[in-house]
Amino acid sequence: MQALKAVDVSMAYSKGALKREVLKDFSLEIEQGSFTALMGPSGSGKSTFLHLAAGLLVPDKGEIFVGGENVAAMSDSQASRFRRRHVGVVFQAYNLIESLTVAENIALPAKLDHQKVSCERVDSLLSAFALSGRGNDRPDELSGGERQRVAVARALYMKPSLLLADEPTGNLDAKSARSLSDVFKGLNSRENTAILLVTHDPVVAAVADKVCFLSEGRIVSSHNTEHDAKRVSELYLEAFGQ
Ligand X SMILES: Nc1ncnc2c1ncn2[C@@H]1O[C@H](COP(=O)(O)OP(=O)(O)OP(=O)(O)O)[C@@H](O)[C@H]1O
Pick the closer one to ligand X by CB: 181 or 199: 199
Closest approach of Cβ 118 to Mg ion, in Å? 32
Region from 40-48, 138-146, 153-161, 225-233 binding ligand X, contact rule CB under 6 A:
40-48
Task: Identify any residues that bridge with 163 across adjacent strands, giving them in sequence order.
Answer: 88, 195
Whether 64 contacts 5, CB under 8 Å: yes
Q: Specify the 3-state DSSP secondary structure of 79.
A: helix
Whether 37 contacts 235, CB under 8 Å: no
Whether 161 contacts 3, CB under 8 Å: yes
- 242 binds ligand X, rule: CB under 6 A: no
Site string for Mg ion, 1-40 (x = CB under 5 A): ----------------------------------------
Pick the closer one to ligand X by CB: 16 or 68: 16
- 199 binds Mg ion, rule: CB under 5 A: no
Q: Specify the 3-state DSSP secondary structure of 181.
A: helix
Contact positions with Mg ion (CB under 5 A) in 39-58: 47
CB atoms inside a 10 Å sphere around CB 124: 12
Radius of gyration of the chain (CA): 18
Closest approach of Cβ 103 to ligand X, in Å? 30
Contact positions with ligand X (CB under 6 A) in 112-151: none
Task: Identify any residues that bridge with 23 across adjacent strands, giving them in sequence order.
Answer: 11
Interface residues toward ligand X, by CB under 6 A: 13, 20, 22, 40, 42-48
